[in-house]
Structure 1
Amino acid sequence: MTEKKRRFPKWLTIAFFIVFAVGAFIGFKAYQAFLGPSVTAQQEYLYIKTGSTYQDVLNTLREQDIVKDVQLFDYAAKAMSYSDAVKPGRFKLTEGMSNRQLIGNLRGGYQEAVKFRFQNIRLIDNFAAILAQNFEADSATFSHLLHSDTLAQSYGFTKESFFSMFIPNTYEIYWNTAPEKVIDRLHDEYNKFWTDERKQKAQALNMTPQEVSILASIVRGEALHTDEMPAIAGLYINRLQKGMLLQADPTVIFANQDFTIRRVLNRHLTIDNPYNTYRYKGLPPGPIMLPSIAAIDAVLNYQKHDYIYMCAKDDFSGYHNFAKTQAEHLVNARKFQRALDERNIKK
């Protein structure tokens, strides 16, 4: 046999290399589509809203530059039957994550819960806005629920006291949880917070948990320092037990709905509002802000003393001078008023 006859046909060699090249290309693309790094560093989470379609997901990936190649994601997603199994949620993204990993999480609904923390909230609508920042529903939806008489009553609250149901803390809740379910979850946490021990302490004060929270909101409004809360709580409890007006400045500020007030004046005291404890005896109908856990426990474990007056110290340290008599109180009050005048604080 001659050397020419022993040679591999040229066309077959070319065909072999073409097939090999195509196979290598397809294999490389398959690797990129399924196993190669795909997720970028542009976003920390992928949010898929309730009712979203597969096309909505693709649009989000493209608009937010979440994956390197949306077409490759689309190929992998259809191969993994994700296009018909879209689930809402907040999904954690890791740079370099493959499409196979991402689609597996999306298809399985393996989302990451929101670590939701709130404190120092003054008004219900402020709380609705914070809820909307952390969950899928908008602030109008949450505000409607928080102002609902019917919903408040279903949990055993009035519309005014409903705000006291929400205990400032850190919670883990899924982003796409329905707003009614979010409220229900926070109610469950309220019930866990009010242990038998706390309920017994409230009963010893002849107060309901709601009333404790209302008083705690006043204590929280007065106290700049946690270590002074039990003393302030003891003062207001003394006033309640003596049948005196609470005369708490934070309630006057709340009644006027002017939170820029730094100096409560006589004109502020004239407002006819049930939250004005200079005119209305006893506790106001609801909390003037969300009380902290520290403030609630300060009421339940109040400091026993004979003080019924207090006035901010003239050194502006945030602490108070306490007094048993009006004469002592007037001395303290004049010192503070002079200090305000020296700093030109007129309102």
Structure 2
Amino acid sequence: MEQLESLLKLGSLVDPWLEKYLLRDADPEFHEALLYPVRAGGKRLRPALTLAAALAAGGSIELAMPAAAAVELAHNYSLILDDIIDHSELRRGKPTVWRKYGLSTAILVAVHYRESISQALNDTRDPKLFSEIMARTLKLLTEGERLDVLFEQAGRTDEPYVVERRHRTVTLADYLDMVYKKTGALMETSCIFGALSAGVGEPVIEALGSYGRSLGYAFQIGDDIIDIFGREEVTGKRVGKDIEEHKLGNIVILLAAEELDGREREELLAILRRDVVDAHSVGRALELVSSTRARERAEELRRLYSKEAVRALSALPRNEGRDMLEALAEFVARREF
């Protein structure tokens, strides 16, 4: 737990750098809206990964700071757009950017974040390489979001592209592909940026990238478990939100649908496919899911990927950075919030 706390403190060191890049070339009248997303909270997990990876690779925190700022800006950039796409009104217990400032301003804030990412990467040790990696990562993230939307079983009736291409069936392989793109790719890049900032060779870069990739799978599987089985007093989130949002791209719902017999499986899918999923329907869906081994199977997968993350670090020397990364993977394997 001590290493985990150290890791999160490490991530918070990036805050002044975020504000530096966001406020560069910005009109003072725009400052409040630009700073709102990064001042609304967050764990700073991705910059913490970059900085800890740099330490694990024998590098320095200072040299990795621009890259750490870039990955946190990228994360917030994606959240601003995600909240618009999902019509989400709250994030971290506060109004989302579009809800607070309006849709047009939220889009402008997102564009500003994207260019701030580029400015941060210009301060890395190899701007061209870092920028190429980030561009690929953001394209993967976009594709992951597209798939997540297409895995929804209802809603968005005013969006022809989604209605025409909606996936009525989703396999475990489909889910893992979506999760890597939506969550794992940025965590992988966060770790690779730390290694590149330290100037190490390909074996260490690959080891840290593998760690981030596996951690991303474990992290998202954990999120899905928490959505269905979390305690609201611990998470601060409504249980079953993914059911309300028609998501078949939740590992617990997906595995439950796979295990249920024909009649009950159709009942669960019918709930996901309703135009509006009310509280009673959410409750019934939770009963159906709880009657299966979906939770146990999801937990097994989460532990598997957490162990793979730790195993990837075995190629690195034992030091403070590696210890923090191992502690994070072990926490992700059991987290409840």
Please indicate the TM-score interval, normalised by the length of the shorter structure.
under 0.3
Which of the two has higher C-alpha Rg? 1
**TM-score normalised by the chain length of structure 2:** 0.24
**TM-score normalised by the chain length of structure 1:** 0.24
Question: Which structure exhibits the higher relative contact order, with contacts defined as CA atoms closer than 8 Å and separated by 6 or more residues?
Answer: 2
